[in-house]
Structure 1
Amino acid sequence: MSIKRMLLIILLLVALISVGINAVILGSLTDRFFSNYLNEVYDSHIEQIMDYALKVLKEKTITKEQLKADMETHLVDPIFRIRLFDSEGKLLEDVSSDMHMRGMMMDGRLARMRSNGDEVTDQFILEDDGGTWGSIYITRYSAADNSLVARLFKMSLLSNSLRAVMIAMAISASIALLISRLMSKDLKETAILASDIQSGKQVKFERSIVSEITSIRSSLHDLSTKLRLKQKGRKELTDKLIHETRTPLTIIKTHLEGIEDGVIAADQVEIELLKNQVEIITSLIKGLSGMIEADALQNEMSIEEFELNKLLKQILSGLSTQFSNKGLKIILDSEDKVIMRTDKFKLSQVFYNLLNNAWKYTDAGGHVTISYNRSGDFININIADNGSGIDNDDLKHIFDAYYRGKDQAGSGDGIGLYIVKGNMTLLGGDVTVSSAVGDGTEFVLSLPVTYNNGEAEEV
């Protein structure tokens, strides 16, 4: 059953029941007070008739025609017949109501309702201090409710109640149609909203006159936002994966070309270097399952202990061919032994991205310098180049995903420094940058020597 039909039936039933109850209560109260009123009027009228009849019998001056005319004026519902007798029992006048007969003739229903049991005759003795003067017989309906006026009143009350029911139902039907139309419209729009979300379209939240529909739309809008964020997160993750595989693949390619050309010896050191790059690619591929099973795979930590200088030398060894082919020097300016306990893979990602950026934006003949120093429980690592530098307008956006400076169109996907910032945050550290156009750029990494998040998983 549609909402429109259901709402229409409910409102019509409510209107019918409400008006019906109201009509019964109002009819009962009105009928009671009206009957009391008729009885009071009847009692007052009887006194007037008796006073008039006693006066006629005592004075004996009124003519028969005048007596009849006067008595007829007292034939007021529920009285429909009056007979006056003198003290000797002689009938002086007998009058009856033509209205009584006409009422029965005009309305067959009233006539069928009438029976001899509906009539009663009251006898009143006309007397005073001077003795008994006569008697008067008044024939009336047995109860005020049986009078013609009372019956017409009840019929009028019933017909007006029926009219009220019809009017109330018509108004209720109109209101129900209006409300159901508005609700149906809002529900259809909500269904379209859900369909748009399913299709991946961007939706706009609009309130409804019905709070429940507004709540549903709000939930759908929140769901749409979460889905878009999840989709965006997965896209970022995919872009990161693609970006991160480029570096080890490039290293493998350049070293294999060097071996092929006889520039690089295929010794054990070179084999270990290539195996290390393969392990990096393997670690990246393992993250693919997270795109299906979780939203925060990039937040998972694998903590291990390693020596910083050794890690940096391995990374520089892998990039040396790439840098030398472009005519760039890469210098490790520190030799201190620092044992770190953190996520080696994520820290390596940071180094690779920063060094690749330096290689990309430094011209031949330039150099890149890496240095570090320990300060208490933190290690500060500087990576500086004398490349083209970064414009001030771009400097505040370089860590945003997919952002590329106005002079860097086509030079990258804008995801590398976003990964650097994200990884440093996960490692409990921070990264800052200073740069001047034409004078190069320096990144400063600051992170704890020992990763101190109790939730970290040790490997």
Structure 2
Amino acid sequence: MKMSLMKKLSISFLLTVIGAILIASFVSNYMVIRKFNNYLVDEHKEKVNKIIVTAQDLYNDTTGFSNFNKDELLRYAVLEELYIQVKDANGNVVFDSGNSHLQHKNMMETMMGNMMKNGMGKHFNMSLEEYMEETHSLVKDKKNIGTIVVGYFGTSYLNQGALTFKMTLNHSFILSGFIALVFGLGVSFILAKQLMNPLVKITKTANEMREGNLAVRSEVKSKTKEIEELSASINYLAETLENQEMLRKRLTSDMAHEIRTPLTTLKTHVEALLDGIWEPTEERFQSFYDEIERLTDLVDNLRNLAKLEQADLKLNKTKFNLSGELEKIILSFEPLYSKNNHIITSNIDENVWVQMDKDKLKQIMHNLLSNGYKYLKSQGKVLVELKKEKEGICIKVKDNGIGIPEKDLPYIFERFYRTDLSRDKSTGGSGIGLTITKSLVESHGGKISVESKEGEGSTFILEFPKGIICENE
């Protein structure tokens, strides 16, 4: 049976409170009662010692115990509920607080009966214990003057005041436990509600996302760190899914456009040949061939992207001079750039040796330099920089081309994404060149980013970890 989080939290917190109350009450009650009982026993011994001292003080060196005042000992016996008997040195009884201990027993039974009527006895499981007597020698000026017998029952030190204190103490534990239980129940309900309300709202947001509403966002504000992070994660997921959905729709539209254009051209040309409007010539067949090549390139790009996503790229790493390799790549692009009055320059640190896949590096630079070339303005410039830094290696490709709109920057490395400025047939590609480049860079443990301003140009930044750097032998 599934239980709601609120109920589970409330029950767990309540059980914890109950357990804590029981443990604290048991330990506290045990320690307090134990100490209090010890205190009562010590007090009883002090009473007996006080009676002994009183009896010794009543002795007269001249007359002995014959004329001493018995009222004080009798008062002690009555007030402290004790049986007192005093004998002289010859063993003669000179004082007796009662005819026998049975009289004292009857007095104790009467007291216990009153306590049971008042409800005290049932709280402490009291029963009349065995009658006991203590015999002590009476000594004065180092002379044995007689003996004193103090009789009492085992519970005699539990007087009315002591029993009342114990009962009050136990009642206070019970009342404190009840108040703590109610307080714990209230706190558990409040805490559970504070946790549940935002979670319910987040769950509602997630369910709306599942039903297709990707524009929904979690508006939960909480002082609980984990709930705040969960809300932010749900919003990030919703935003990511919304962007992916936008890219998917855009991909469908772009792919339809890319495929429809050459197919429409081929269809129109073939219909013209079938209707006899056109004569089959070499130039027209070349046009057919060009359109078919466009479709072939598109399919090849899709296949290459699929390979990149199937598994991690297998790198064939070798040691080589990155500085020299970049110079060679730049040199190979100079004819293309100069043909259209563009300039490609470099600012490269010398003798930077690395352990990388040389072919993948060439593909990365080819994609970036070709991409930069496509979007240069008249008499455009491209600068390639290589810097060896403490954190690793940084390669930058700067151009002064048309730039990238700010709204497109977050998606520039997404598959098949092309900005509105790159949709011209003469320049626009399939939209996966930068996606492939990003995968190749990341396969070397690096990262790629872009800085751009529309109308002023773009800078692609490649950052590789220092682990790929090696020393020249």
- Relative to the length of structure 1, the TM-score reads 0.56
Does residue 179 of the first structure (1) align with residue 187 of the second (2)? Answer: no
Cα deviations by residue, 1:148-203 (Å, 9 ceiling, x for unpaired): 55544443333322222222222221121111111221221221121132223224
TM-aligned CA deviation for residue 237 of structure 1: 1.8
Partner of 2:428: 420
Note the 1:102-117 alignment, pairs <5 A: 102-107=111-116, 110=121, 113-117=126-130
Deviations 1:107-143 (A, max 9, x none): 25638732342x3122344453597666543232326
Cα 1:400–1:103 shift into 2, 3 Å: closer
Query: Cα offset for 1:13?
Result: 2.5
Q: Structure 1's 401 and 177: CA in aligned 2 closer, same or farther, altered over 3 A?
A: closer
Residues 258-309 of structure 1: CA deviation (Å, up to 9, x unaligned): 6689774333432342354255356657878999x79989xxxxxxxxxxxx
Q: Partners of 2:158 and 2:251 in 1: how far apart?
A: 93
Structure 1 counterpart of 2:18, one-letter code:
L
- Distance in 1 of aligned mates of 2:453 and 2:139: 128
Matching residue within 126, 133, 153 for 1:141: 153
Is the radius of gyration larger for structure 1 or structure 2? 1
Structure 1: distance between partners of 2:153 and 2:205: 72
Q: Is 1:101 matched up with 2:110?
A: yes
Give the direction of change, closer, same or farther, for the CA distance of 1:61–1:74 in structure 2 (3 Å limit): same
Partner deviation per Cα, 1:239-265 (whole Å, 9 max, x = no partner): 322333454356446656866897743
Structure 1 runs not aligned, ≥5 long = 298-339, 342-370, 386-394, 403-411, 436-442, 444-459
Give CA-to-partner distance per residue, 1:30-70, whole Å, 9 cap, x none. Answer: 23332332233223322322333344454866777xx17x6
- For residue 82 of structure 2, what is the amino acid of its counterpart? R
User: Which of 215, 237, 243 is the aligned partner of 1:202?
Assistant: 215
- CA gap of 1:56–1:3, structure 2 versus 1, over 3 A, is same
Instruction: Show the counterpart of 2:74.
Output: 71
Distance 1:423 1:37 in 2: 90
Aligned residue in 2 for 1:440: none
Aligned runs of 1:86-97 on 2, under 5 Å? 87=88, 88-89=92-93, 91=95, 93-94=97-98
CA distance in 2, matches of 1:75, 1:247: 122
Residue 237 of structure 2 is matched in structure 1 by 223
Secondary structure of the residue aligned to 1:196 is helix
1:19 maps to 21
- Residue 214 of structure 2 aligns to a residue in which SS? coil
| Identical-residue share of aligned pairs (%) | 18
Give yes or no for the alignment of 1:193 onto 2:205: yes
The one-letter code sitting in structure 2 at the alignment partner of 1:420 is: G
Alignment: residue pair count: 340
Of 124, 133, 145, which residue of structure 2 is paired with 1:121? 133
| Residues 261 and 223 of structure 1, relative CA distance in 2, 3 Å threshold | same
Task: For 2:289 and 2:203, locate their aligned partners in 1 and report how far apart those are by CA, in whole Å.
Answer: 55
- What's the secondary structure of 1:40's corresponding residue? helix
1:231 deviation in Å? 1.9
1:211-252 CA distance string (max 9 Å, x none): 444444444334333323322322232232233345435644
Does structure 1 conserve the Cα–Cα contact (< 8 Å) formed by 2:259 and 2:295? Answer: yes
- Aligned AA for 2:213? G
Name the aligned partner's letter for residue 6 of structure 1. K
Counterpart contact for 1:85–1:92, Cα < 8 Å: yes
Give the equivalent residue in structure 1 for 2:34. 32
Of 40, 43, 64, 1:41 maps to 43
